[in-house]
């Protein structure tokens, strides 16, 4: 249905932005039973909720002539959890209320607070801000909420998760009792319900989470992979889709850091967003994405809140979301404003049933596919290159002179081939993936063994990712300690707290003797303990997990690793690839990285 019962100025603004009919959440807040009432609205990201609450509160703000009356103090307040979301909301309300004469002030962290106070003193009809900055202005007397007619809490669940409860309560306690309160939240946990009971009167519950519109413009795919090939699958998915902008979701900041570094090493332009990044770093990363200098963003769920990238067409769930609500919230970053988007879940084989249940709860139909192969990517590359070269362009005399010079030196076929080669050289190389059958995976694993490594013995080192273990310094260390060459070291598996590597059985005796001779040195490198492992790395990790469970029945571990030596502080990896040990020479154990 078209927008109706709206002042003409709103209708004109919506038409200019291409809105011909309301989304479910917009239609719901404009129903007769919702007019003038407090609302508790469950709506997913990308459902048009900013326009929804902008229209919902218009009745309290717009005069009979369809314009916003002049006021020295705010008539409406919108509170958002992050700076990015607040700025996005401010931009949306600016065009929606642009023809009404409304003045909008934005108050967020990272901006000049003095300038914000001057803007508030000059008079603002609508104030949009983050809880901490709004509370600061309120306590300093710069923000007067005495005339407030409407207050909106956008993504209220996230604000409570981020610890803004006290800020919200102080702000809401300073508002008039007769104000209208609109609470928007993707999820409705008990703290949200308690907040609604305290600050709302006879609130109307509206939920559009189950509507198809929440993911109607998103194509869902589930890619099954071996757990060891998740990163390779990410590489091939990025190369296959070649999205203008893509966002990759990880569960922790450590995983964001690791995947970001991996993609950069493989030639992708990528930025990272997690809780360890400052506001300045976030601003620079988002600006690089908007300027299209960078095409890939690796982020955690919280860090990605409020991100609005019009060119975002691909979302990859590198790690499985914890529930269906998080799945839809992550995926909702794409498929917005009528544009199509793709959301891909990378599913390790053992997790397939859990993902199927999650998709069923969310009422999402996903296509179960295999990760793109090298051949499929090459085919896509050819089609994209042909389409790019056949696009109409305007050529000037300089272009034609250069073309004539090239034709004098090479044949047209050679020039075209060189152009294709130059295009391919700029793109990251796809990965060869194990086929999606147990037999093929076992056979491929055999084929990947280098000659001379058919019969190997596993060794273990007492350093891992937590100590910044890296093949760049592990290989030279093993060569020095074991008196062997790089070609005599097989696969290296780096875990959280330990690293496993292969040595051909034929040289195990020589290697072990060399380790004993070099074990007594006081140098940093030789302080690392290296012992023969009784199990391959996967079995060892599984046994350790069983032993770590409370009341587990895995029995005692088959070997007892030495406790890590204490390092004096946060480990830092030097630029030359040296091992990231602590600086204390007498206690050379690797320092642990802090997750702060």
pLDDT tens-digit readout, 239-275: 999 998 999 999 888 899 999 999 998 889 999 998 7
Average pLDDT over residues 368-394: 86
Give the pLDDT score at 49: 86
Give the pLDDT score at 439: 58
Average pLDDT over residues 295-324: 85
pLDDT digits (tens, 9 = 90+) for 145-178: 999 999 999 988 878 877 888 999 999 999 999 8
Percent of the chain scoring above 70 in pLDDT: 82
Give the pLDDT score at 209: 64
- Domain boundaries 215-376, corresponding CATH code: 3.40.50.300
Tokens of 10: 């709103």
Q: What CATH architecture does domain 8-212 belong to?
A: 3-Layer(aba) Sandwich (3.40)
Give the pLDDT score at 395: 80
Tell how strand 104-107 and strand 76-79 pair up: unpaired
pLDDT digits (tens, 9 = 90+) for 325-355: 788 878 888 876 567 889 999 998 888 889 9
Examine the pLDDT at 282 and tell me if it is beyond 90.
Answer: no
Fold of 451-596: Alpha-Beta Plaits (3.30.70)
Examine the pLDDT at 444 and tell me if it is beyond 90.
Answer: no
pLDDT digits (tens, 9 = 90+) for 468-495: 787 778 888 888 888 888 888 888 888 8
Mapped onto helix, strand or coil, the DSSP state of residue 315 is strand
Examine the pLDDT at 398 and tell me if it is beyond 80.
Answer: yes
Contacts of 369 (CB under 8 A, 6+ apart): 221, 222, 223
Tokens of 552: 């587990």
Examine the pLDDT at 517 and tell me if it is beyond 60.
Answer: yes
Give the pLDDT score at 276: 82
CB 477 within 8 A of CB 528: yes
**pLDDT confidence band for 23 (50 / 70 / 90):** confident
Look-up: residue for tokens 């051909």?
Answer: 504
Query: Alpha-carbon distance 419 to 506, whole Å?
Result: 49
CB 52 within 8 A of CB 92: no
Cα 166–chain centre separation: 28
Mapped onto helix, strand or coil, the DSSP state of residue 221 is strand
Listing DSSP states for 240-286 in one string gives: HH--SEEEEE-SSHHHHHHHHHHHHHTT--EEEESTTS-HHHHHHHH
Give the pLDDT score at 46: 64
**Is the whole model's pTM more than 0.75, yes or no?**
no
CB 82 within 8 A of CB 90: no
**pLDDT confidence band for 217 (50 / 70 / 90):** confident
Q: Same CATH topology for 215-376 and 451-596?
A: no
CB 102 within 8 A of CB 125: yes
Report the length, in residues, of the chain: 596
Listing DSSP states for 321-358 in one string gives: -SSHHHHHHHHTTSS-TT--EEEEEEEEGGGHHHHHHH
Q: Residue 531 belongs to what H/E stretch?
A: strand 530-532
Tokens of 342: 């793709």
Closest by alpha carbon to 457, among 495, 508, 523, 404? 508
Tokens of 58: 């218009």
Contacts of 167 (CB under 8 A, 6+ apart): 131, 132, 134, 135
Cα 526–chain centre separation: 39
Look-up: residue for tokens 């002030």?
Answer: 105
Closest by alpha carbon to 269, among 300, 303, 241, 292? 292
**Helices and strands: H and E segment counts in the chain:** 22, 18
Cα 318–chain centre separation: 9
Query: Alpha-carbon distance 153 to 39, whole Å?
Result: 10
* Greatest Cα-to-Cα distance within the chain, rounded to the nearest angstrom: 92
Contacts of 80 (CB under 8 A, 6+ apart): 86, 89, 128, 129, 130, 154, 155, 159, 306
Query: Alpha-carbon distance 195 to 190, whole Å?
Result: 9
**pLDDT confidence band for 131 (50 / 70 / 90):** very high
pLDDT digits (tens, 9 = 90+) for 47-76: 788 899 999 998 888 887 778 888 889 999
Query: Alpha-carbon distance 65 to 67, whole Å?
Result: 6
Residue extents of the structural domains in the chain: 8-212, 215-376, 451-596
Strand partners, 153: 79, 183
Q: Which residue has the higher pLDDT, 113 or 325?
A: 113
Examine the pLDDT at 436 and tell me if it is beyond 80.
Answer: no
Q: Which residue has the higher pLDDT, 523 or 592?
A: 523
Look-up: residue for tokens 């990363």?
Answer: 285
CB 526 within 8 A of CB 519: yes
Give the pLDDT score at 572: 40
Cα–Cα distances (Å) from 140 to 117, 137, 143, 176, 398, in that order, read: 9, 5, 8, 19, 62
Mean pLDDT, the chain, whole residue set: 80
Query: Alpha-carbon distance 439 to 442, whole Å?
Result: 5
């Amino acid at each position: 249905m078209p927008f109706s019962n709206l002042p003409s100025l709103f209708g004109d603004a919506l038409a200019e932005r291409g809105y011909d009919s309301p989304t479910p959440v917009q239609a719901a807040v404009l129903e007769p039973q919702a007019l003038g009432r407090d609302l508790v609205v469950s709506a997913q990201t990308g459902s048009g909720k900013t326009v929804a609450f902008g229209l919902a509160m218009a009745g309290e703000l717009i005069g009979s002539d369809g314009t916003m009356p002049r006021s020295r103090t705010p008539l409406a307040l919108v509170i958002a959890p992050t700076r990015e979301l607040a700025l996005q909301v401010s931009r949306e309300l600016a065009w929606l209320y642009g023809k009404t004469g409304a003045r909008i002030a934005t108050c967020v962290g990272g901006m000049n607070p003095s300038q914000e106070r001057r803007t508030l003193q000059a008079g603002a009809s609508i104030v949009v801000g983050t809880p901490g900055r709004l509370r600061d202005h309120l306590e300093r007397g710069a923000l007067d909420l005495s005339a407030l007619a409407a207050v909106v809490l956008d993504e209220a669940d996230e604000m409570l998760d981020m610890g803004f409860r006290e800020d919200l309560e102080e702000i809401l306690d300073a508002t008039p009792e007769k104000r209208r309160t609109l609470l928007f939240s993707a999820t409705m946990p008990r703290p949200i319900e308690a907040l609604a009971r305290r600050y709302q009167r006879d609130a109307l519950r509206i939920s559009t989470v189950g509507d198809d519109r929440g993911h109607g413009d998103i194509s869902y795919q589930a890619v099954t992979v071996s757990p060891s090939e998740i990163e390779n699958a990410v590489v091939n998915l990025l190369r296959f889709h070649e999205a203008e902008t893509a966002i990759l979701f990880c569960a922790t900041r450590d995983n964001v850091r690791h995947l970001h570094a991996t993609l950069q090493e493989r030639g992708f332009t990528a930025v990272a967003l997690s809780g360890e990044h400052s506001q300045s770093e976030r601003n620079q990363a988002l600006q690089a994405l908007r300027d299209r200098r960078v095409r890939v963003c690796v982020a955690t769920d919280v860090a990605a809140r409020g991100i609005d990238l019009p060119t975002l067409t691909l979302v990859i769930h590198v790690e499985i979301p914890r529930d269906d609500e998080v799945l839809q919230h992550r995926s909702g970053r794409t498929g917005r404003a009528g544009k199509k988007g793709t959301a891909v879940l990378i599913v390790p084989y053992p997790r397939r049933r859990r993902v199927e249940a999650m998709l069923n709860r969310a009422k999402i139909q996903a296509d179960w596919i295999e990760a793109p192969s090298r051949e499929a990517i090459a085919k896509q590359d050819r089609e994209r290159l042909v389409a790019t070269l056949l696009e109409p362009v305007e050529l000037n005399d300089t272009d034609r002179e250069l073309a004539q010079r090239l034709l004098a030196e090479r044949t047209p076929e050679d020039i075209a081939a060189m152009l294709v080669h130059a295009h391919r050289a700029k793109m990251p190389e796809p990965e060869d993936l194990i086929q999606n059958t147990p037999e093929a995976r076992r056979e491929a694993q055999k084929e990947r063994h280098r000659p001379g490594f058919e019969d190997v013995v596993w060794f273990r080192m007492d350093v891992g990712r937590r100590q910044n273990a890296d093949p760049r310094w592990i290989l030279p260390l093993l060569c020095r300690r074991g008196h062997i060459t790089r070609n005599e070291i097989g696969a290296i598996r780096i875990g959280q707290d330990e690293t496993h590597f292969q040595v051909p059985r034929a040289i195990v005796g020589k290697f072990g003797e060399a380790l004993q001779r070099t074990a007594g040195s006081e140098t940093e490198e030789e302080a690392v303990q290296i012992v023969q492992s009784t199990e391959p790395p996967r079995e060892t990790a599984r046994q350790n997990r069983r032993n770590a469970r409370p009341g587990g029945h895995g029995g005692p571990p088959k070997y007892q690793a030495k406790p890590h030596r204490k390092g004096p502080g946060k480990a830092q990896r030097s630029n030359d690839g040296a091992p990231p040990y602590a600086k204390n020479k007498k206690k050379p154990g690797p320092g642990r990285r802090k997750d702060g």
